[in-house]
Structure 1
Amino acid sequence: MDKHISYLLGSKFPGLDSILIGCHADNGIVPHECCEYDIITLHDKNMPLHQDLIHKKGPILVRNNESIYEISILSVQEFIENSNINYAKFVQFPSQILRSNIVNHFVDKCNKYHKSFNFNLKTNTIRNICEITNLHNLLSSEIVDEKFISFQLKMISLKTLKIIIQYHLNSEDRPSHLKYQINLVKQNENLKTREHIDLLLEYIGTDRANISTLTRSEKSLRFLIRGEDMSSNSILLDKLDFFKKRSMYVDGVLLISNFILDRTFDNDQLIKKYNKLLNLITDIQIKEKITMLKEVNLLLEINKNLI
């Protein structure tokens, strides 16, 4: 545990309760040197000292030597209602807010995540099956947009891979550590599961990962997010630079693909508009219709086996 966290929280956010989540709070993961410390801090609207924090949008980045701290400051209500905040493990830094409350919101959130874990897995798997069925119908048409379907197949393959990781590790997937989590599942599961993982990695294109493809993808990614606040994407870019320097090209490809998956490219027209750029970022191979049909059928089989 980084000893600077307690000092940082005490000096910048005195009186507020905080937790550490992510890979630094997970004993089953060895964090990379580039991994940030994900901290969630709850503010109390009745504390005048922190009134200015209520209006801040997005996480605050604090750098200390080689360490990066990404601190999200939320009200209790924001924390409870934010469906994107989910964690199986955490480390708590109590101050004073929670001591006066009957409910520990951090523990309550974690418990709810565990209770809904299997249900959410099945829900996401069923969504995958619906998407795959839709792609199968598109491939049955006379006119086929190979680029669009190739992109969708790659994204669904990654979604399926993440579900497999969650299913077998009973925990959330970690974008910066997907390769490690994949290897962990492959070491402990049967031959069929290992074969499915290898197929998904082939569809995602990790076998083509090298310095050239990763550098090209990074340049295209920078162009795509050029109009955004770069500070919000600095952690991602720092990690890509770290992976390149360490020749961890598969890690870099998986990280970029996961970033694109999390973006709002769910609108068909938007995807088609950025087709060329997304192709450069995610290194999409345009395949023949018969090959894509084979992949669709295999993806359907894999997802059905997960229900």
Structure 2
Amino acid sequence: MGNKDSSLRRKSTKIEFDKEIDNNPIGLEEEKELKLEYLIPDSHEAIDRAHIFHFFQRFLFQSNFSSPIDERLTQEKCKVLDIGCGPGTWLLDLASKYENSLFYGIDNNSIYPSEIKPGNLNFIKADMFDRFPFPDNEFDFVHQGLTSFINPDQLNFIISEMIRVTKPGGYIELLELRNEFKGVGPIVKKINEAHISYCLKRRIDMERVPNIGNMIKSNQNTPIVYKDEKLYVSGPNGGKIGMVFQDIYIGFHSSDAVTDNLCPIIGISKEDYKIMIIKDLIEELKHTSPEHLLIRFWAKKN
């Protein structure tokens, strides 16, 4: 796996902290159309969900990461990069704990805090689907918060870039949210099928999840990949953690952007869709046990 095989642009860029990097978004209108826009937080509610999801996954794993780098972060002056950092919750959490290390986040949507943040944290506006605006072998730890809804070519490129900017002896880590399609009721099944249909139009086959482990292994610098996974049930039958995820799930699916995209596929009005999500779905989850899997993949660079 190498950058030369990717169709994505690799334009060199100059770092300017807390300001936009002029990478020029992927130029073709077709590529813009293919982006899953409703997954990008663009409201206070969406940003709040991103914060909650961070604490959800931290509780589930009882840690912010699975790579064995805690001691180095504590004792050394490490450099850490978060790809697609969103509102920066993961970085803010780590930067406050590991004061000796330096943290950087990149995202194309500048919803991260620009003023109220620790002095060891910098945010950069840049597109993760372009060549990362950093030299080779720059970071001790490179993290990707969530890989769901990224097509295989894009994910292959991102992984390649993560490895490129990681120092020898450093770590990369990716988080994947996977729907097991087990224990679901008719409403969740209908929602899942609508997502699958919507994503297929954008070259993402949710029923054929990319094997992230094999993608990482295919790079000669990261031949050994480790996996840490947690299974949980959404809704009341999943206990407290299930109820937290239910709130995230309901909030996401009741948002205007998701409603606009899924209603035509399901074939119902927005009014009926809202009732289905905030009333019928909540009732269904009382009697079902939909299973989900959250997986961390991590590897050490040779």
Greater Cα radius of gyration, structure 1 or 2: 1
TM over 0.5: no
More helix by share: 1
With structure 1 as the length reference, what TM-score do the two structures score? Answer: 0.25
More strand by share: 2
Q: Which has the higher contact order (CA 8 A, sep 6+)?
A: 2
